[in-house]
Amino acid sequence: MSEHPARHGTRTAIALLLVTVPAFLVPGCRTVETGGARDVPPPVEATTAKPAKPSGRRPGVVNIETEQTLNGTRAAGTGILLTPSGLVLTNNHVIQGATTIKGTDTDNRRTYTARVVGYDRTGDIAVIGLSGASGLKPAAFASAAGAAVGDTVTAVGNAGGKGGTPTVVTGRVTALQQSVTARDDSNGSSERLTGLIETNAPIKPGDSGGPLLDTGGKVIGINTAASAGYSMKGTQQKRDHRGYAIPSDRALEIARQIQRGEASSTVHIGRTAMLGVKVRSNGRSPGALVAEIVPGSPAETAGVPVGAAIVTFGGSAVDSPSTLTALMQARHPGDVVRIEWATRQGDRAAATLRLTEGPPQ
- Give bridge partners of residue 219 from the DSSP assignment: 141, 213
Report which of 322, 275, 354, 340 is spatially closest to residue 70, judged by C-alpha positions: 275
Radius of gyration of the chain measured on its C-alpha atoms: 21
Phi, psi of 300 (to 5 degrees): -65, -45
Helix (H, G, I), strand (E, B) or coil at 326: helix
Whether 312 and 339 have beta carbons less than 8 Å apart is answered as yes
What are the distances in angstroms from CA 340 to CA 13, 306, 311, 313, 345? 40, 14, 6, 7, 15
Q: What span, in angstroms and rounded, lies between the C-alpha atoms of 156 and 152? A: 14
> Among the options 93, 151, 214, 248, which is catalytic?
93
> Among the options 55, 179, 208, 297, which is catalytic?
208
Q: What span, in angstroms and rounded, lies between the C-alpha atoms of 161 and 18? A: 8
Helices (H), 90-182: 92-95
Our answer to whether residue 93 is catalytic in this structure is: yes
What are the distances in angstroms from CA 346 to CA 249, 285, 310, 318, 349? 50, 11, 12, 16, 10
Helices (H), 175-285: 248-259
Q: What span, in angstroms and rounded, lies between the C-alpha atoms of 247 and 176? A: 10
Residue type, 11: R
CA angle, corner 126, sides to 15 and 82, nearest 5?
A: 115
CA atoms within 13 A of residue 107's CA, in its CB half-sphere? 17
- Give bridge partners of residue 228 from the DSSP assignment: 241
Residue type, 107: D
Our answer to whether residue 124 is catalytic in this structure is: yes
Our answer to whether residue 268 is catalytic in this structure is: no
> Among the options 105, 124, 151, 207, which is catalytic?
124
Say which DSSP state 160 is in: G
Q: Which residues are catalytic?
A: 93, 124, 208
